[in-house]
Amino acid sequence: MLISARIADYDWKLMWFREKLRIGGHLGVSIMVSPVMRIFLSFSIVFAGLLFQPVSASARTYIVNGLVSAVPFIGYGMANLGKKIPGAKVFSYITSVEGNSIIKPNIIEDIETRYRRNPGEPINLIGISYGAKMITEIASALARKNIPVNYLGIIEGGTMRPIKGNVAKVDNFICTGADCAKKSVRLASGNNTTKVSQFTLADTHIDLGNNSRVHSRIISNLR
């Protein structure tokens, strides 16, 4: 029944996005979408729906990949990190559409459920590139619900939300390559409790996600 319900839910989402993405339609703002792009986006939404499964009862670490990370040669770093963390769930996708409309709200809902069941369970959020942006937004949403976050592992994030006081500690990993974002994280106004550490490594934007030093540091902060 659960599987059937989820399939029906994703079928409904696909129909809704197809309607919004029709030629001459809009998604927040007016855009023109070619038939090829419509097919591509429809496929990516279905892919995200099939990819997302309920997080297992032992999971407390959520790893959010970057854009186009469903392509193996792009999202491999976070996939490898996930294999090193028991119970971790890695979320990969194609576009920001399924990232923001499917993956992010499902993670928030899952954390809320887990928190009600066990408020003492630590929550860890790790994200790279666009995924780093998403986990700062997730942490901010959890702050409004008074849900604490043990650790944020931010890897080469771009535009990110200021970190609120519900987050205990943050690691910000940036790289030195020409394609690197090199963005620092900011604390929200009045937040003087979150511990922030920044690391600069000689690497490229995508490869930093597979850097062994980054993996080791992240794993050392999980509890």
Question: What are the tens digits of pLDDT across the range 158-188?
Answer: 999 999 999 999 999 999 999 999 999 999 9
Task: Give all domains of the chain, ordered by start, each with its CATH number.
Answer: 56-221 (3.40.50.1820)
pLDDT of residue 27: 38
Contact 193, 219 (CB under 8 A): no
Q: Which two tokens stand for residue 56?
A: 């297992």
Contact 24, 55 (CB under 8 A): no
Percent of the chain with pLDDT over 70: 74
Q: What is the mean pLDDT of residues 1-7?
A: 39
Q: Rounded to whole angstroms, how far apart are CA atoms 33 and 23?
A: 5
| Residue 128 bridge partners (DSSP) | 155
- Please tell me the pTM assigned to this model: 0.77
Contact 169, 151 (CB under 8 A): yes
Long-range contacts of 145-150 (CB under 8 A, 24+ apart): 145/112, 147/111, 147/112, 147/115, 147/123, 148/123, 149/123, 149/124, 149/125, 150/122, 150/123, 150/124, 150/221, 150/222, 150/223
Helices 2-20, 35-51: crossing angle, 10 deg rounding: 160
Question: What are the tens digits of pLDDT across the range 38-75?
Answer: 545 444 544 444 444 444 444 499 999 999 999 999 99
pLDDT of residue 58: 47
When pLDDT is cut at 50, 70 and 90, the band that residue 223 belongs to is confident
Q: What is the mean pLDDT of residues 24-34?
A: 41
